[in-house]
Amino acid sequence: IHPSYNVFLQSPQQSLNDGLFLPRSYNTYHGGNSYFGNLPPQQPPQQPQDPATLGCGTPPAACPKTRYRSYDGSCNNLRNPVLGTPNTPYTRLLPQNYGDGISNPTLARSGDELPLSRMVSLTIYPDVPIEDPIFTLNAMQYGQIITHDMSMILGSTQAQPHSTACCSPDGQLLELADVPEHCYPIRLPEHDPQMGRTNTRCMNFVRTITDKDRRCVPDNQPAEQLTAVNHFLDLSLVYGNNEQVNRQVRQFQGGRMRVEARNGQEWPPRSNNASGVCAIQNPREACYLAGDARVNQNPQLTLLQVVLLREHNRLADALASLNPHWDDETVFQEARMINVAQHQFITYYEWLPLFIGSQNSLKNKIIYNTKGFVDDYDQSVDPTILNEHATAAFRYFHSLIVGSLDLVTEARSSYGSLRLSDWFNRPQILEEGENFDQLARGLNTQPESAADRFHTSEITQFMFRAGQAFGQDLKATDVQRNRDHGLASYNDYRQFCGLPKAHTFEGFLDLITPKDVEKLANLYQSPDDVDLTVGGSLEAHVPGTLAGPTFLCILTEQFFRSRKGDRFFFENSVGGGLTLGQLNEVRKTSMSRLLCDNSHGVRAMQPRGFERISHSNPVVSCESLPSVDLSLWKDANGGGEVTLEADPFRGNYYGK
Ligand code: HEM
């Protein structure tokens, strides 16, 4: 076992009493539970690394004393300035379980192949449309925004067919398919409904790039996958993950982001490589450039990206008129800071309680019931994204995706709908007529699909089909990715999370229905072979949450680390950069107000946008929804209470 994992060898401290979870590694961080190990304070800068070894973590030359986050997340942790930066490894709760112990995909305990991931998808994840009784499509969609802010497997765009082909365009296995370093194609079973119609034998699957591929670790050490974006919840999907991308999306005037005006609305700039990035059907179709490569993936994702972009410019315009003496950079960074604070507030206080439960969040110090600052930053907490979170637990919410997107009028009547698979990677649809407003209302009106084992065939049969009869299968991909990343088994994570380990398939009956246990027993040879992605997705939910105990334990741990390990978290009195008055203004923001302020003709919304319209959550005028009073950002030179000149952050923490 790799030394950095010794922390997990302690006996479980967690109990399942009243369904609440204490992230178990609270008091184990101090041992240096970080991939890189913790650097001593004031570590002198190291020389930049050879690009061939990019992925090993390149410490920045200096950490400037600044009230603003870097774009790549460097210097967030001053003891280990590279922590949380792009192109660094995920971390994990349990050691890798590779077929060869080093890097090959997971095998059954017997050494045989695991059941075909596509077979698992067809058996476990069929399309049975069940609406969520409480939550809107926006709850699903904001979840994807949070995901894209936190991680992206390196080597994939998660939107377009991969440039490495393991299968031919007509779905036949290619020679490269047998090169385990790159390819791990999804093989279709004999009776596959798609194969029956098209004679397709495989779906493309390219393995995630690891630290081993980048020659960062010794040959005998198990591989760890790299993530392409910074690990912090910092709107990097809007602002970019490095200075170079940030320069492409910034206007450098008035603190604004670049936008293009068409039909009286502002849109993101167009990508220079539209035909490479999007599935456009003519060169005039929009294909956007944003801080994140996945921006065009589906219309509702793009809509929220546009909302967050417009919000930046709305904030920047207000700050610039309050503080005419501020230069472009100051307006830009202050607007960015407010935008990120609002996003963190919505994520932690409006969204997360619905998914992982209010009581669970309060009890585990993920949210606080306070009007004060929360100074819980701890530089020994590792903010790195957990592989189990990104590859299994958080993907459970793929179940919430719906196959058709409602267009909704101001009177909240349906005007029609869009078929999801017609519009992957084709954001032009947002610019047509009043679609933007109608889709925005649809987000807050239409129910999401229930969190269960059923998935719309728009993502299990038709994903990214680009006009073809069939496309990819997201759930088969999720199962395949679980094995590509060599995650330990469902049974191991049960034990890690304080549940009894099953010795027979019947041992799963405490949380999984007899019918589903039977399906598992038919697919897998042993209870120890069940993939985390699969077992976790079949558990009965913990009351008040949208996940079973095993996934809840992983999600809780991740969101705990993501706040406590972020020096700039918005509730922090120093790093957060807000006065107490400003912080309590930010706490007035809401998903619905964000949509109101950044759409064109939306005049009314229900107060709680992630919850369906009801008597207790009725549609009300936008103006009546609480909003952030930006006059608190008028600085001392303009007669206000804030003074940036008195900023104590000057010079460098170390380096030049
Ligand atoms: C229409 C909506 C969505 C589509 C089409 C979609 C599609 C995808 C695709 C294609 C991948 C990459 C698969 C791979 O190659 O391994 C992915 C990854 C992922 N998705 Fe989704 N997704 C959607 C919504 C969501 C939602 C709502 C969540 C969670 C709330 C989510 C969580 C994730 C996570 C955690 C990953 C892995 C991120 C990483 O690379 O580290 N997705 N999704």
Give kind and range of the element (H or E) at residue 447: strand 447-449
pLDDT band, residue 646 (cuts 50/70/90): very low
pLDDT band, residue 319 (cuts 50/70/90): very high
Cβ count near 31 (within 10 Å): 15
pLDDT at 567 over 50: yes
Q: Give SS3 for 558.
A: helix
Structure tokens at 161: 């067919």
pLDDT band, residue 170 (cuts 50/70/90): confident
CA angle 174, 175, 181 (to 5 degrees): 105
Give percent above pLDDT 70 in the chain: 88
Q: What atom of ligand 1 comes closest to residue 484's alpha carbon?
A: 16
Query: Which residue is closest in CA terms to ligand 1's atom 10?
Result: 158
Q: Is residue 90 in contact with ligand 1, taking CB distance under 6 Å?
A: no
Q: Distance (Å, rounded) from C-alpha 99 to C-alpha 101?
A: 6
pLDDT of residue 28: 26
pLDDT at 8 over 50: no
pLDDT at 482 over 90: yes
Give kind and range of the element (H or E) at residue 520: helix 514-523
Start-end of H helices in 70-200: 117-124, 137-150, 193-198
Q: CB under 8 Å to 432, separation ≥6 — which residues?
A: none
Q: Read off the pLDDT of residues 372-392 as tens digits, 9 standing for 90 and up.
A: 999 999 999 999 999 999 999
Q: Distance (Å, rounded) from C-alpha 78 to C-alpha 560?
A: 19
Q: Read off the pLDDT of residues 221-236 as tens digits, 9 standing for 90 and up.
A: 999 999 999 999 999 9
On whether the CB atoms of residues 591 and 138 are closer than 8 A, the answer is yes
Q: Is residue 394 in contact with ligand 1, taking CB distance under 6 Å?
A: yes
Q: Distance (Å, rounded) from C-alpha 191 to C-alpha 201?
A: 11
Q: Give SS3 for 96.
A: coil
Q: Distance (Å, rounded) from C-alpha 501 to C-alpha 491?
A: 6
pLDDT at 541 over 50: yes
Query: Which residue is closest in CA terms to ligand 1's atom 24?
Result: 144
Q: Distance (Å, rounded) from C-alpha 269 to C-alpha 267?
A: 6
Say if residue 398 carries a ligand binding annotation: yes
Task: State the chain's maximal CA–CA distance in angstroms.
Answer: 74
pLDDT of residue 184: 94
Q: Distance (Å, rounded) from C-alpha 248 to C-alpha 613?
A: 39
Q: Read off the pLDDT of residues 611-634 as tens digits, 9 standing for 90 and up.
A: 999 999 999 999 999 999 999 999
Q: Read off the pLDDT of residues 32-67 as tens digits, 9 standing for 90 and up.
A: 232 222 323 333 334 444 444 455 777 888 999 999
pLDDT band, residue 644 (cuts 50/70/90): low
Q: Strands (DSSP E) along 137-278, which ranges? A: 186-187, 202-203, 226-227, 260-262, 265-267
- With the most atoms of ligand 1 within 8 angstroms of its CB, the residue from 163, 387, 388, 398 to mutate is 398
148 is catalytic: yes
Q: Which of 566, 562, 558, 563 is nearest to 24 (CA)?
A: 558
Q: Distance (Å, rounded) from C-alpha 38 to C-alpha 505?
A: 41
pLDDT of residue 651: 60
Interval between CA 280 and ligand 1 midpoint (Å): 22
pLDDT at 357 over 60: yes
Of the residues 30, 148, 182, 615, which is catalytic? 148
Q: Read off the pLDDT of residues 483-526 as tens digits, 9 standing for 90 and up.
A: 999 999 999 999 999 999 999 999 999 999 999 999 999 999 99
282 class by beta-carbon count within 10 Å (0-12 exposed, 13-18 middle, 19+ buried):
exposed
Interval between CA 419 and ligand 1 midpoint (Å): 18
pLDDT band, residue 169 (cuts 50/70/90): confident
pTM: 0.92
Q: CB under 8 Å to 175, separation ≥6 — which residues?
A: none
pLDDT of residue 54: 57
On whether the CB atoms of residues 382 and 34 are closer than 8 A, the answer is yes
**Beta-bridge partner residues of 262:** 265
On whether the CB atoms of residues 99 and 105 are closer than 8 A, the answer is yes
pLDDT of residue 2: 29
Interval between CA 398 and ligand 1 midpoint (Å): 7
On whether the CB atoms of residues 150 and 454 are closer than 8 A, the answer is no
Start-end of H helices in 346-434: 352-356, 358-363, 387-388
pLDDT at 181 over 60: yes
Q: What is the DSSP letter of 254?
A: T
Kindly tell me the sign of the dihedral angle through the C-alpha atoms of 128, 131, 135, 139. Answer: positive
Q: Is residue 421 in contact with ligand 1, taking CB distance under 6 Å?
A: no
pLDDT of residue 642: 60
Interval between CA 151 and ligand 1 midpoint (Å): 10
From 149-158, 377-386, 433-442, the region with the lowest mean pLDDT: 149-158
Q: Is residue 425 in contact with ligand 1, taking CB distance under 6 Å?
A: no
Q: Which of 47, 32, 25 is nearest to 83 (CA)?
A: 32
